[in-house]
Amino acid sequence: MDGFHITPATPADTGELLTLQYAAYITEARLYEKWDLPPLTETREQLERVIASGEVYKAVIGARAVGKIRVRPDGEVAHVGRIAVAPDLQGMGVGTRLLAAAEDFAPAGTRRMALFTGHKSVPNIRLYERLGYRETHRVPVDEQVTLVHLAKELV
């Protein structure tokens, strides 16, 4: 992927990243038949606040944002979330590169990366496991969704 890089998002990226997030999570909504998933109900103002906090990174090819990820530090744990990849580039390594970058962007002293996904999101779970994440526990949300929590110990 020529011209690919990952950089911190800025408030000017909010609209493009929110559109990207909606497009990426529609497939999850279809899978779960649940249209009110938090990534699909997040507002521009909410995302702009998170971006302003410095927790959002974007993957870019040329001038196009093709992925995003959040990294929220919490002591020795960095929580990874709202990973989104442009639908036309899913399965092409963007998510893998975002997850690797998340480890780089985690603050010094981070000992564990943690994330969660839905139980039906088998390709996501396989990706996380391939990258060294291991399931820690499951939390039922409702009849449609059980969250699978995974963590990766950093050396």
Rounded mean pLDDT, 78-106: 96
At 141, phi and psi to the nearest 5? -95, -45
**Cα distance between residue 102 and residue 116, in whole Å:** 14
Read off the pTM: 0.93
In this predicted model, what pLDDT tens digit does every residue of 126-142 receive, in sequence order?
A: 999 999 999 999 999 99
- The answer to the question of residue 128 being in a domain is no
Domain range for 69 is 4-112
What local confidence, expressed as pLDDT, does residue 32 receive? 95
We report the CATH number of the domain holding residue 47 as: 3.40.630.30
What local confidence, expressed as pLDDT, does residue 78 receive? 98
- The answer to the question of residue 118 being in a domain is no
- The answer to the question of residue 127 being in a domain is no
- The pLDDT-based confidence of 1 (bands split at 50, 70, 90) is low
**Cα distance between residue 150 and residue 153, in whole Å:** 10
Q: Please count the CA atoms within 13 angstroms of the CA of 119 that sit on its side-chain side.
A: 12
- The answer to the question of residue 136 being in a domain is no
Q: How many residues does the chain have?
A: 155
Would you say the C-alpha torsion 77, 82, 88, 90 has a positive or negative sign? positive
What local confidence, expressed as pLDDT, does residue 107 receive? 92
- The answer to the question of residue 29 being in a domain is yes
For residues 127-136, one letter each, b for 16 or more C-beta atoms within 10 angstroms of the residue's C-beta and e for the rest, the string is bbeeeebeee
In this predicted model, what pLDDT tens digit does every residue of 52-79 receive, in sequence order?
A: 999 999 999 999 999 999 999 999 999 9
- The pLDDT-based confidence of 2 (bands split at 50, 70, 90) is confident
- The answer to the question of residue 139 being in a domain is no
